[in-house]
Amino acid sequence: MDKVTRSGGGRLLRLGAASLLAGLLAATAAQAQDEKPVPGGTVIAALNSTTIPNLNTQLTSSVPALFAADVWADGLMTYDRLANRIPRLATGWTLSDDGKTYTFTLREGVKWSDGKPFTAADVVFTLEAFGKFNTYLTKLVPLIDKASAPDDKTFVLTLKEPLTATLDLFDKEVFPLMPKHVYEGKDIATHPANIAPVGLGPFKFEKWESGKSITFVRNPNYWEAPKPYLDQVIFALIPNPQQRLNAIVNGEINWFRPEVVQVPATQAAAKKGTFRVVPIITNAPETAVVDLNLRRAPMNNVKVRQALFQAIDRQRIVKDVYQGLAETAKNAIPTQFKMLHDPSVNYDTMYPYDPKKAGELLDEAGFPLKDGKRFSMELTVVSIAPYDAVAQIVQAQWKAIGIDVKLSALDLQIWTNKVYTQHDFDASIISLTGRSNPVLGVDRSFTCNQTSVPFANPTGYCNPEFDKVAAEAASAPAGKQRALYKTYAEIIARDLNQLALTNARVFEAVTNNFKNLDAQFNFAFNTHPNWAEAWLPKDKQ
């Protein structure tokens, strides 16, 4: 539409009323016609792996599986980009006065991708059958008194004691709903539906070409009809970050999430105008960490852990690995949790980079230099960016203070078994997502854990003092949590079973040929595009 110009005094220049009205109507009609969604087309999205052992994100929180789950799975609610809750399969919910009973009203007429009806029994089944496997529900499951479905459209959860973050535990990524009729009576962990899922999302699973791609097609039973508009979403399995960038530049893919180290190069390539780089406004904390195995010497010595922390130049990691698109992690409670983070507990001042001080601490701990070496250890990492680059810096800086560090860069599944199942490691590097509340993605690194659930505290740290504070913080009313989380952060800063290195920003890259792209990125925390709203004009299909 033509701009309306103004004269020096701010008066509108006179235009013929009839011609102006005609022009406005014509432009509006053309815009409306242009913006009407049409069916058809394919989106090709790249995942950063060729080996994805499981698509069921009740059983894994690996990043490729989470990306894929957004197209085939759904949950009770999600968030907009300002972190406000948005109903999904639940149209509403209420909380009892004592803070223990949550009642969810479910959406009418919803069907699974195989055409079977979705009911409250599916929600109860998902919680009871999958809760023990879900890394984010480790705090909730022990507090459940009863989960019930008094009728098909009502799900009721009663807790033994209040848990302030309960609603956050039912968002569509933390708690994707699973079909009772598919899994009931079968072995959950090995069920074939874990790699050929039946879900409630806009697309349904069609095929998996090993090492190449995973294809989802339009779900005819999707509850938000006439969405989705696209015919299919294909996930191309491309583990190499440069190959993913090359693919979007060459028009071979439509979407990928660049590693933070790639963002500047991706932004530069986007200037050609065929794709854009979208910053996620409210991103979940993405914290690079070093987990230390307290079951082993010398990691069971707190002075050794303090020394290891002070021997790491975290600012260099921010600059060299994350290209400045991160900050040093300040304490166990990420800064994204503005109402809970207390800046008085600050790793930058408590454990500044100081190799000399690190050496002194190791001397005090009984590990002086002897023939240029203090002790030997293994540093384990997943062999993908940016973890491998972080590990190389940590290895070099620990070697500089006399530690003989063997770096083991492993496939994701081998690394997961080594660290979380076998606990066969000295130190391990990974990036952990804090989700929308400490109860989901932060507590799991510190609360006592006797399980082998992936991405839940593998360090052997088990401190009743901490567990008590974490439980009190989780159950306290929202306005009274901050002081408790300060104590929480102080205990972890003292004990250091995990060294928090950086907190990274999040960006996604997407081609410009789709319409209604803004709706795809109107989300917060770790929700990714589900492509339900996006569509392709006929001339671009």
How much is the pLDDT for 2?
Answer: 29
Q: Is the pLDDT confidence value at 276 over 60? A: yes
Task: Give pLDDT tens digits for 125-158.
Answer: 999 999 999 988 888 999 999 999 999 999 999 9
- 463 and 333 in a common domain: yes
What does the alpha-carbon distance between residue 497 and residue 233 come to, in Å, rounded to a whole number?
A: 41
Tell whether 513 and 532 lie within a shared domain: yes
pLDDT level of residue 14 (50, 70, 90 thresholds): very low
Q: Give the range among 186-190, 191-195, 476-480 with minimum mean pLDDT.
A: 476-480
Q: Is position 87 within any domain?
A: yes
pLDDT on residue 152: 98
The answer to whether residues 232 and 198 belong to one domain is yes
pLDDT at 1 over 70: no
Same domain, 444 and 426: yes
* pLDDT 10s digits, 512-533: 999 999 999 988 888 889 999 9
Mean pLDDT of 387-409: 97
Are residue 277 and residue 350 in the same domain, yes or no? no
Query: Residues 92, 101: contact at Cβ < 8 Å?
Result: no
Identity of the highest mean pLDDT range in 200-204, 411-415, 438-442: 200-204
User: Order of strands across the sheet with 255-256?
Assistant: 203-209, 213-218, 232-237, 42-47, 255-256, 507-511, 275-279
| Lowest-pLDDT choice from 84-88, 132-136, 309-313 | 132-136
In this structure, is residue 429 part of a structural domain? yes
> Does residue 28 form part of some domain?
no
Predicted local confidence at residue 78, as pLDDT: 94
- What are 99-108's pLDDT values in tens digits? 999 999 999 9
| Whether residues 161 and 215 fall in one domain | yes
pLDDT in tens, 466-510: 999 999 999 898 889 999 999 999 999 999 999 999 999 999 999
Return the pLDDT at 270.
97
Domain harbouring 533, CATH code:
3.40.190.10
Domain count, the chain: 2
Residue 27, domain member (yes or no): no
* Domain span at 290: 286-504
Assess whether 528 and 447 both reside in one domain: no
Same structural domain, 312 and 192: no
pLDDT band at 454 (very low <50, low <70, confident <90, very high): confident
Give phi and psi for 406, each to the nearest 5.
Answer: -95, 125
Query: What pLDDT, on the 0 to 100 scale, is given for residue 450?
Result: 86
Position 454 in a domain: yes
Residue 282 has pLDDT above 90, yes or no: no
Query: For residue 130, is it within any domain?
Result: yes
- The string of DSSP codes covering 262-320 is GHHHHHHHHTTSSEEEEE-SSBPPEEEEEEE-TTSTTTT-HHHHHHHHHT--HHHIIII
Task: Supply the mean pLDDT for the chain.
Answer: 91
Q: How confident is the model at residue 22 (pLDDT cuts 50, 70, 90)?
A: very low
Query: Given a cut of 50, is residue 29 above it in pLDDT?
Result: no
Average pLDDT over residues 248-272: 94
Q: Are residues 516 and 446 in the same domain?
A: no
pLDDT band at 34 (very low <50, low <70, confident <90, very high): low
**Phi and psi at residue 287, to the nearest 5°:** -105, 115
Cα(497)–Cα(274) distance, integer angstroms: 46
Let me know whether 475 and 497 are in one domain: yes
Q: Are residues 241 and 302 in the same domain?
A: no
CATH, residue 371: 3.10.105.10
Classify residue 18: in a domain, yes or no: no
User: Do 349 and 396 share a structural domain?
Assistant: yes
Task: Tell me whether residue 61 is in a domain.
Answer: yes
Could you tell me how many residues make up the chain? 541
Q: What is the pLDDT of residues 158-186, one digit of tens each?
A: 999 999 999 999 999 889 999 999 999 99
CA distances from 103 to 96, 156, 460 (A): 8, 5, 36
The whole-number pLDDT of residue 459 equals 98
pLDDT of 404 reads 98
